[in-house]
Amino acid sequence: MVRVRLEFSGGLELLFGNQKECEVDVPVASGQQELTAGHLILWARDNMLQERPELFVKGNSVRPGILVLINECDWELCGAGESTISEGDHVVFISTLHGG
């Protein structure tokens, strides 16, 4: 199990029971040594999402328009879906906004 601090913002929290922050224990995928960001997304979909999964996930990743931040860093800087998530990491899913 890996303890992760999850955060949802930009409206995504509405899909997760209006919860903006939580701490969760996420199991490592069977056959894997480490938890990846990609696996975390699928785990959050299956275990936390309360409505409309099609607004959070597309294929094995997040929907277009959603940024994933690992420890205050764009996940593209550390491997996107392949990024390793370690104990205590802070992962933010944020929907880009268009309004003004």
Cα(92)–Cα(5) distance, integer angstroms: 8
Task: Out of 46, 76, 82, 87, point to the residue binding other proteins (CB under 8 A).
Answer: 76
- Please give the span between the terminal C-alpha atoms of the chain, in angstroms, as a whole number: 41
Q: Residue 13 is which amino acid?
A: E
Among the candidate windows 22-30, 31-39, 42-50, 69-77, which touches other proteins by CB under 8 A? 69-77
Q: Does 87 bind other proteins (CB under 8 A)?
A: no
Of the pair 48, 80, the CB lying nearest other proteins is at: 80
Cα(15)–Cα(51) distance, integer angstroms: 5
Q: Does 64 bind other proteins (CB under 8 A)?
A: yes
